[in-house]
Structure 1
Amino acid sequence: MTEPIDAVELALALIACPSVTPARGEVFDVLEAALRPLGFEVHRFVMGEEPDGPTENMVALRGTGAPHFGFAGHLDVVPPGEGWANDPFNPRVEDGVLTGRGANDMKGAIAAFVAAVAAARHDRGTVSLLITGDEEGYATYGTPRIIDWLNQRGIRPDMILIGEPTSVERLGDTIKIGRRGSVNLWIEARGTQGHVAYPHRADNPVPKLAKVIDALSRVHLDDGTEAFPPSNLEFTAISTPTSASNVIPATATAQLNIRFNNLHRGEDLVRMVKQIAHREAPGSIVRARISGEAFLTPPGQLYDVIVAAIREETGVDPALSTSGGTSDGRFLIQLCPVVDFGLPNASMHKVGEHAAVADIEALSRIYRRAIEKLLSAQ
């Protein structure tokens, strides 16, 4: 029988490793050291170069055959920001609350799952951890490369649970059964630089860009679906290369993001933006980066098991939601059904990020119930 693992102690050790995205090295050492005594075969690989890398990934496997239950997560974190009362990478527990960058998103959940595996009793199948160091970044060398690694070896999970913080008011009140897609775009309107006192010798790109912004702001994408909220287009930045008050700039750039439901495809939205930009500002340049497509996991065993485990542990019937941001489920859905479930998410990415000790411990018990339901012979 394996030695028990304290989820909170493991979370403390993981948080103490600064791992701003893209992450590699020490934080993966800590996780590997926890997994190997549990009988996991651990594979680690570093890929890519700056600016999107280098990124480390881990695939840890225990057991053989079906069913294969995978847990996906990320050890990278967003930059801590200013204003912390203490060092964000010197985690502490006070009054039943664990504080540190990554406590909530999502080192707490990874620690909870490892503790759950150590405690769970099961007699069949495979359990795996698919852990990346680049979920908070562009994921160029993250989970998509894990999928490549699995495909090259003919390894395919039957279902995957992602430990993202999905709960809202209390642990267990929300699981994510799908996610909206996301595309980032940059529109550059072009003109000719000149002196503001001689506008006839210049070509101001700012009014051109304003026309594009106005036209896109009036686009109605959809009214949502039964499973998804409406898609939304939001401008996030506007800039010119000069701040001088007496210079007409040569270019003006707008940055925007579209979060879209499964009524759209990313490439179609990019095409729409390009058409509007070229109509309103001829000669403009549009760049785009599709972060992921919208997806929805159909009802099935994974739903049923996670919902039952939450209900048994907390007495809560979780809402099935597709709201919020993206997750690596947008890639993993290529392999099998995917559900996101984790801690309450109120402090994710914030200064003073934290998680209640009681929630981490309860989350580990929920994960243990799920493992035993899926991998124990009936």
Structure 2
Amino acid sequence: MLSHRPNSTDALLAKALARLAEDEAQVKQELALIIAADTSFPPGTGYGAFADLLERLTAPLGFDAQRVSVPQALWDAGVPDIAGERVNLIAARRNGRPVCSLYFHVDCVPPGDGWTHPPLQLTVDGRTLYGRGTADMKGTIASALAAIRAAVAVGLPLAFDPVLLFCTDEEGGLYPGIRYLAEQGLVEGHLLSFNGGAVPRIWAGCFGSLDLRIEIEGRAAHSGEPGDGVNAIEAAIPLLTALRKLKAVVEQRTSALPPPPRREGRPLTARLNVTAAHGGDKGSSLPGRFTLLVNRRYAPEERFEDVLAELEMTVAEAMKGSGALGFTTRVVGHLAPVADPTGPHWPRWQAALSEGFGWPMESFSAYGASSSSDMGWVQAAGIREILLGGLVKPGCGAHGADEHTTLDDVMALARSILLYLAEAFPGDGPNTTKPEA
């Protein structure tokens, strides 16, 4: 380990890495607690209890905790399935060094169907770890805690003071917690986000995401004696047809962001999907209300205002003559796109990932994604450089059934974090830089 850098044999750093390697049992214990805490969004009612848990886990490592709640007027989209205080936690250790802010979103998508393992319970199968959030992204919390625990155990000097940002509503919220922290000037130093993958990647940016809720009003009535009833689901059929036509148009639009290697040179394209539909509850009644949720992934080259206007115009045109008594639209989620996030700390983080995971430096490639991140709001607040790491891999089940990561990847990410933070990690080798304030 660290063999290709002549100054990397610092005794304390080697001791910390050895201590980390012996910590797998505690990593699994803490990850089990983290997975068992239900922070599903929607609704988002578990954030306060999760902040309690994080305070208990970080206090023994010398962190001082500060709770910051997003004002309800900002995050409340006025829909019944989103509720609860938006509690963000800032855990800081300060020793006069430059700050590195380590970002984690604490919310997960709801478990959903199709699981063969309990979604809110850590299941260990050999080196595979199953549970909602293991990959996206609660497993990264366990990695960071393990890295810092190893540094504390041996008294390892750090190049940066770590500040841990545990944030709400990344999974589609109207006002993500990191946006509020950034706009309030509470994000210090440079930012290391763990909303990425366990792959040798240089992040080139990502798409924005818009969630539009459409509510169609009918009139409930007995299905055997409909009278003047209006079936809200049937009134939505023209809209569903129009959205399908728009989808075909939207998904022809390409982005200049470099595509992931798995796309084999095919450009990234905009996306439009109907992702939820709710209406009716029994066969004997016509549904008086029908609700759709439409998700639109838009490229950095597109303007949010244009994307929203196109959707709203499509809805309005489709609903003319539909028979519905009325309809409303409301933006219930928005993540801004991320432009080029590289900066002076990227080479050091790349070197740490290379050492931690064992990836050759030449294996790294720069590419973007049509998925989204709340880091766009961080850039909008003036913080341009965002480092990226994480545990997501193709086939890991993130946002689906049987989500999983591996203990090997959790420990590799922990090694990468430990190396990056360590003062002894050399910043003067090939393709590396010294830490900057």
Shorter-chain TM-score category? 0.7 to 0.9
- Please give the secondary structure, in 2, of the residue aligned with 1:109: helix
The CA distance in 2 between the partners of 1:205 and 1:270, in whole Å, is 22
Match of 1:260 in 2: 298
Asked if 1:230 is matched to 2:269, the reply is yes
Query: Corresponding residue for 1:109?
Result: 140
Q: Kindly indicate whether the alpha-carbon contact (under 8 Å) linking 1:123 and 1:376 is maintained by their aligned counterparts in 2.
A: no
Change in Cα spacing, 1:105 to 1:211, as seen in structure 2 (3 Å) is closer
1:179–1:296: 8 Å Cα contact kept in structure 2?
yes
* One-letter code aligned to 2:181: I
1:217 aligns with 2:247: yes
1:340 is displaced (CA, Å) by 2.5
| Match in the other structure for 1:315 | 359
Give the match for residue 43 of structure 1. 66
| Alpha-carbon contact 1:185-1:257 (below 8 Å) kept | yes
**What's the secondary structure of 1:301's corresponding residue?**
coil
RMSD of equivalent CA atoms: 3.9
Distance in 2 between residues matched to 1:239 and 1:26, nearest whole Å: 29
Give the aligned partner of residue 412 of structure 2.
362
Pick which of 201-210 and 314-323 moved more: 201-210
Q: 1:129-162 CA distances to partner (integer Å, 9 max, x unpaired)?
A: 001244336264633333355x2xxx44232111
Distance 1:188 1:76 in 2: 26
Offset, 1:335: 4.6
- Give the C-alpha shift of residue 245 in structure 1: 9.3
Q: 1:332 corresponds to which letter in structure 2?
A: V
Matched residue, 1:329: 375
Question: Which is worse superposed, 139-148 or 342-351?
Answer: 139-148
Please tell me whether residue 174 in structure 1 is matched to residue 193 in structure 2.
no
**Kept after mapping to 2: 8 A contact 1:184/1:290:** yes
2:389 — aligned with what?
Answer: 341
* Corresponding position: 1:33 with 2:56: yes
Residue-by-residue CA offset, 1:63-88 (whole Å, 9 max, x unaligned): 25563211100333333345555544
Equivalent AA in structure 2 for residue 260 of structure 1: Y
**CA–CA distance in structure 2, aligned partners of residues 356 and 202 of structure 1:** 52
Q: Structure 1: which 5+ runs fail to align?
A: none
Match of 1:275 in 2: 313
Q: Do 2:341 and 2:387's aligned partners in 1 also have CA atoms closer than 8 Å?
A: no
Distance 1:28 1:322 in 2: 32
Distance apart, 1:297 and its partner CA: 3.1
Compute the displacement of 1:191 (Å): 7.1
Q: Is the 8 A contact 1:45 1:56 kept in 2?
A: yes
| 1:31-180 matches, cutoff 5 A | 31-46=54-69, 51-63=82-94, 67-81=98-112, 84-120=115-151, 121-136=156-171, 138=173, 140=175, 142-148=177-183, 151=185, 155-167=186-198, 172-180=199-207
Q: Work out the CA distance in 1 between the residues paired with 2:278 and 2:436.
A: 60
* Distance in structure 2 (CA, Å) of the matches to 1:256 and 1:71: 31
Tell me the alpha carbon deviations over residues 179-207 of structure 1, each in whole angstroms, 9 at most, x when there is no partner.
Answer: 21111123456678899999999897346
- Aligned partners of 2:173 and 2:333 also within 8 Å: no
Q: Go from structure 1 to structure 2 and tell me whether the alpha carbon gap of 1:347 and 1:207 turns closer, same or farther (over 3 Å shift).
A: closer
**Paired residue secondary structure (1:15):** helix
TM-aligned CA distance change 1:130 to 1:289, over 3 Å: same
Structure 2: unaligned runs, 5 residues or longer: 1-11, 73-79, 260-267, 321-325, 428-432
CA contact (8 A) 1:38 1:118 kept: yes
Give the aligned residue type for 1:180. F
Q: In 2, distance between residues paired with 1:107 and 1:357?
A: 13
Task: Provide the rounded CA distance (Å) in 1 between the counterparts of 2:87 and 2:219.
Answer: 45
CA shift for structure 1 position 320? 2.6
How many pairs does the alignment contain? 369
Bigger shift: 278-287 or 108-117? 278-287
Native 8 Å contact 1:295 1:330 kept in 2: yes
Q: Deviations over 1:334-363 (max 9, x none)?
A: 352213211143132333332211111111
Question: What letter is aligned with 1:315?
Answer: W
Contact kept? 2:104, 2:137, Cα under 8 Å = yes
Equivalent residue for 2:332?
Answer: 289
Identity between Structure 1 and Structure 2 (%): 24
The residue matched to 2:197 in structure 1 has which SS?
A: coil
Q: Conserved in 2, the CA contact under 8 Å of 1:205 and 1:251?
A: no
